[in-house]
């Protein structure tokens, strides 16, 4: 029920953000919430978090999923160090919507765990995470939540005055563990009438070091080594963009490219060569008179393909193209209501050609209307939203094989939500959200029929699948006094017709057959975060604490749902004085024994991490020198939410001890 993908100061519980903000350059991304909070409220009803600037830099990893892992309510699919997608409240894949500047990210990362998200933390300016029913405006595919990756490729406000100017930043880093070498640069120039942007980045890594000897059959690699076999990568990207500004808005365009070549980890000789190109147009009008006060428009077009190689031989080729349109208008106040109405439409085309094509060529068309309304009261706010969609999924089969079913399915999902925020005292707030969401089955859930090596299963879809329906209740409380903060939220998500894979007694191509089936399911959990200010003055010392737990069950059978993160607890000491800052923390994951019959439990583990930074300032420039030490004790750990823990047991532990040095220069 909140608005889109998280307003940038939603959980502000990490006081380190304040510390880092003191050293943040003036050229960092202007804090405009692109997809969430369209009415501009600073207090959000739905649970949310955001990372930007130096705070994002210090937690950044090689993938989006690992970068966000540890945020209350957020874990990772972790398919090795090169491919991981966020999991929100136990939900992953097509129940978590990944956006770029509020628009669709056209890749195939939700199709398979070994497919990477086409967004590298090196090119990101801010990441917003919205959990639970606040993601309503993005439909049933966001029932778990929304992750919005923001960059400054289309400037939305003037960066300079009429005299003009230029600003930018550059990042360089090296690391042990994966022998990382990374570089990124960004440049903005313009005046109060126009702005131009350019950025580029590159990262190379070797196989990731781990605290155990693992076997490897890759030619040229040691047969046994303390590394994850076939986990090296090369990633690069670049973009250009610009905007023109006028008295009541702006119009901007951008073009970007993402290229990555990486090992898939599950198979010692399989690599993925990926390329994505994206073009976007954004515009906005403000200060209008009449029934509409402002209008925002986003139009995007993406082309994606990757080839899976076995050694030097080309294998399966995945391709996707997508067009998406989103129009959002804020209306004038009516009967005490402030709100937005909007339209979203998109068309995506998918194909997979090769022996391991487990899904057919397909096209998905979608159009949706949505509305969000809010009414203020002396005690707080009430909010409500609705979204209705028309979704059509068509299978074209495959010209090289006849095992796929042809046909078209049409669905009319609807989503509705109500929310409230009470200001009990100046320090205490209570929030509650109730949402009903419907999700249309995806093309592969309907029409899959083939071997899927990443899950070690022969997957079979069901063209008779119905809408997946869920009811979500979220209740939270927040307290804030000075530098001390506390937030807790509890949720219950009840599914009818939850789409999952169920093992059958059959086998195909030497693999067990798993059929997409609908069951009843329930997910519930708690999330909490807190900050305790221990020292205040010339130097500050804060204790950050966090924790979450999820319980997920197939209520038809009483068994646990697969790949659910266990109870997690964390604490970090954050110190700052003048130009210095430092952090020391630990993250503990309990053992996960609540797994489906026949699956492998994971042991508990604790990862210790530390970092330190020193900021040098001179005139209009500044340099941040930093060092990070992850997994200080070189602990051996396996992720309960990774499919690799089940399909290739022991083959892909979490990375071992890694020391990273870096510098960020801004002007």
Q: What domains lie within the chain, and their CATH numbers?
A: 16-666 (2.40.170.20)
Which of 562, 558, 548, 410 minimizes the C-alpha distance to 491? 548
Q: Quick one: pLDDT at residue 132?
A: 59
d(CA 559, CA 347): 37
The dihedral over CA atoms of 21, 27, 28, 31, expressed in degrees to the nearest 10, equals: 90
pLDDT band at 119 (very low <50, low <70, confident <90, very high): confident
DSSP letter for 156, please: -
Q: Quick one: pLDDT at residue 505?
A: 86
d(CA 587, CA 71): 11
Under 8 Å between Cβ of 99 and 110: no
Token pair belonging to 245 = 């500004």
Checking if the pLDDT of 658 tops 60, the result is yes
Q: Quick one: pLDDT at residue 7?
A: 31
216-224 long-range Cβ contacts below 8 angstroms, 24+ apart:
216/268, 217/268, 217/269, 218/268, 218/269, 219/269, 219/311, 221/268
- Alpha carbon separation from 596 to 104, 350, 589, 599, 645 (Å, rounded): 33, 32, 19, 6, 13
Q: Quick one: pLDDT at residue 38?
A: 60
**Number of residues in the chain:** 667
Least confident of 25-29, 147-151, 437-441: 25-29
Tokens 């990774």 belong to residue: 642
Chain centroid to Cα 210, Å, comes to 25
- The continuous run of DSSP H or E covering 169 comes out as strand 165-175
d(CA 367, CA 373): 21
DSSP letter for 653, please: P
Tokens 């540890």 belong to residue: 70
Judging by DSSP bridges, how do beta strands 449-452 and 414-423 pair with one another?
A: unpaired
Checking if the pLDDT of 346 tops 50, the result is yes
570-573 long-range Cβ contacts below 8 angstroms, 24+ apart:
570/70, 570/544, 570/545, 570/546, 571/543, 571/544, 571/545, 571/546, 572/16, 572/543, 572/544, 573/541, 573/542, 573/543, 573/544
pLDDT tens across 236-294, in order? 999 999 999 999 999 999 999 999 999 999 999 999 999 999 999 999 999 998 899 99
Checking if the pLDDT of 578 tops 90, the result is yes
- The continuous run of DSSP H or E covering 54 comes out as helix 53-59
d(CA 331, CA 209): 55
Apex CA 332: angle with CA 138 and CA 140, to 5°? 10
Checking if the pLDDT of 39 tops 80, the result is no
d(CA 501, CA 599): 14
Token pair belonging to 334 = 């009516």
Q: Quick one: pLDDT at residue 138?
A: 79
- Average of per-residue pLDDT across 77-94: 94
Q: Quick one: pLDDT at residue 20?
A: 33
Checking if the pLDDT of 650 tops 70, the result is yes
d(CA 203, CA 206): 10
Under 8 Å between Cβ of 235 and 274: no
pLDDT tens across 488-505, in order? 999 999 999 999 999 898
d(CA 32, CA 649): 44
Chain centroid to Cα 363, Å, comes to 24
The 3-state secondary structure of 621-635, one letter per residue: EEEEEEEEEECCCCC
- Average of per-residue pLDDT across 423-439: 94
DSSP letter for 121, please: G
Apex CA 481: angle with CA 145 and CA 420, to 5°? 40
Q: How many CB atoms lie within 10 A of CB 426?
A: 8
- Average of per-residue pLDDT across 449-467: 92
Q: Quick one: pLDDT at residue 572?
A: 97
Q: Which residues pair with 25 in a beta bridge?
A: none
Q: Quick one: pLDDT at residue 5?
A: 31
């Amino acid at each position: 029920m909140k608005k889109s993908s998280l307003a940038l100061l939603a959980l502000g519980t990490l006081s380190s953000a304040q510390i880092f903000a003191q050293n943040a350059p003036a050229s960092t991304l202007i804090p405009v919430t692109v997809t969430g909070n369209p009415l501009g409220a600073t207090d959000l009803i739905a649970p949310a978090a955001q990372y930007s600037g130096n705070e994002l830099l210090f937690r950044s990893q090689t993938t989006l999923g690992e970068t966000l892992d540890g945020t209350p309510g957020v874990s990772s699919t972790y398919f090795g160090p090169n491919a991981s997608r966020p999991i929100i409240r136990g939900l992953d894949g097509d129940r978590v919507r990944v956006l770029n500047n509020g628009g669709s990210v056209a890749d195939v990362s939700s199709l398979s765990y070994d497919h990477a998200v086409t967004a590298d933390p090196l090119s990101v300016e801010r990441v917003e995470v919205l959990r639970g029913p606040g993601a309503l405006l993005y439909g049933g595919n966001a029932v778990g939540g929304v992750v919005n990756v923001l960059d400054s490729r289309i400037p939305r406000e003037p960066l300079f005055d009429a005299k003009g100017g230029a600003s930018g930043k550059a990042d360089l880093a090296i690391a042990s563990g994966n022998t990382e070498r990374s570089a990124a640069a960004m440049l903005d120039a313009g005046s109060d009438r126009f702005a131009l942007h350019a950025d580029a980045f590159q990262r190379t890594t070797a196989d990731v070091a781990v605290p155990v000897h693992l076997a490897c059959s890759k030619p040229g690699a040691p047969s046994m080594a303390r590394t994850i076999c076939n986990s090296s990568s090369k990633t690069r990207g670049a973009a250009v963009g610009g905007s023109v500004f006028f008295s009541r808005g702006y119009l901007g365009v951008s073009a970007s490219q993402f290229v990555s070549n990486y090992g898939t980890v599950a198979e010692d000789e399989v690599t993925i060569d990926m390329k994505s190109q994206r073009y976007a147009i954004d515009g906005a009008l403000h200060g209008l008179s009449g029934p509409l006060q402002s209008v925002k428009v986003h139009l995007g077009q993406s082309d994606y393909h990757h080839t899976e190689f076995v050694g030097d031989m080309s294998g399966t080729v995945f391709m996707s193209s997508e067009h998406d349109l989103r129009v959002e208008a804020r209306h004038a106040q009516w009967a005490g209501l402030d709100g937005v109405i909007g339209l979203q439409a998109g068309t995506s085309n998918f194909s997979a050609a090769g022996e391991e094509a487990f899904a057919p060529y397909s096209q998905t068309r979608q159009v949706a209307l949505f509305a969000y309304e809010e009414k203020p009261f002396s005690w707080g706010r009430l909010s409500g939203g609705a979204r209705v969609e028309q979704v059509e999924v068509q299978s074209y089969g495959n010209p090289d094989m006849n095992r796929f079913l042809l046909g078209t399915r049409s669905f009319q999902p609807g989503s509705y939500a109500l929310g409230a925020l009470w200001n009990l005292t100046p320090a205490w707030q209570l929030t509650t959200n109730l949402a009903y969401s419907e999700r249309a089955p995806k093309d592969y859930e309907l029409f899959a029929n083939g071997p899927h090596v990443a899950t070690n299963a022969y997957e079979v879809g069901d063209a008779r699948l119905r809408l997946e329906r869920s009811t979500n209740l979220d209740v939270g409380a927040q307290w804030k006094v000075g530098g001390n903060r506390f937030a807790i939220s509890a949720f219950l998500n009840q599914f009818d017709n939850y789409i999952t894979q169920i093992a059958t007694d059959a086998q195909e191509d030497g693999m067990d057959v798993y059929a997409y089936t609908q069951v009843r399911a329930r997910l519930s959990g708690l999330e909490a975060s807190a900050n305790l200010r221990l020292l205040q003055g010339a130097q500050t010392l804060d204790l950050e604490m966090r924790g979450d737990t999820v319980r997920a069950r197939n209520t038809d059978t009483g068994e646990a749902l697969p790949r659910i993160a266990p109870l997690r607890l964390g604490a970090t000491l954050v110190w700052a004085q003048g130009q210095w800052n430092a952090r020391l923390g630990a993250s503990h994951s309990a053992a996960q024994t609540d797994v489906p019959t026949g699956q492998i439990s994971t042991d508990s583990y604790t990862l210790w991490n530390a970092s330190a930074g020193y900021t040098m300032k001179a005139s209009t420039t500044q340099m941040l020198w930093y060092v990070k030490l992850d997994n200080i004790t070189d602990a051996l750990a396996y992720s309960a939410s990774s499919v690799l823990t089940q399909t290739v047991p022991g083959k892909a532990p979490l990375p071992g001890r890694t020391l990273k040095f870096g510098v960020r220069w801004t002007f």
